[in-house]
Structure 1
Amino acid sequence: MLTEADATGGWTFHMHPTQGAMLTRRMYRRQLTVWEDGNLYEFVVDNPTSTLKWGRRGSAAAAKAAAEKAAKPTPTT
């Protein structure tokens, strides 16, 4: 279960009324969210108009790292 101890490195702990504990962070004009779903931790990266990336990981740390990696802007060529 996510706890306030998981909110490190710029992440904020929230209790959502219907989804339970969540971690959120704003990064590169994107909203990152991590929550627990059964035995897995889900993450989503949103910009103001759409969802950029969604996935599941086995630990909160892995989900946070995946969300941060997905939030990084891709270089234009």
Structure 2
Amino acid sequence: MLSEADATGGWTLYAHPSQGTMLTRTMYRRQLTVWEDGNLFQFVVDNATTTLKWGRRGTVAAAKAAAEKAARPASTPE
């Protein structure tokens, strides 16, 4: 179960009425969301129009890190 202790580093704990407790964060104009699904933690990274990346991790810290990494803008080659 996600708790206030998980809401660190710019993450906010949000209680969704139908989907349960989630962590949310806005980073690089993208919306990051992490929630618990059974024994795993799912993450999704959305921009204004589409889902950019989603996945599952074994710990909340790993899910948050994966979401933050996926939210980074792609670097352009020099």
Does TM-score exceed 0.5, indicating one fold? yes
1: CA distance between counterparts of 2:49 and 2:36? Answer: 24
Structure 1, unpaired ranges of 5+: none
Asked whether 1:36 is paired with 2:33, we answer: no
Match of 1:71 in 2: 71
User: Which residue does the alignment assign to 2:27?
Assistant: 27
Query: In the comparison of the two structures, how many residue pairs are matched?
Result: 77
| Consecutive aligned runs of 4 or more in structure 1 exceeding 2 Å deviation | none
Provide TM-score, normalisation by structure 1.
0.98
Taking structure 2 as the reference length, the TM-score comes to 0.97
Compute the RMSD of aligned alpha carbons: 0.5
Quote the sequence identity (%): 78
Instruction: Provide Cα deviations, 1:3-60, integer angstroms capped at 9, x if missing partner.
Output: 1110000000010001111000000000000000000000000000100000000000
| Cα shift at 1:76 | 1.8
Task: Give the counterpart letter for 1:32 in structure 2.
Answer: L
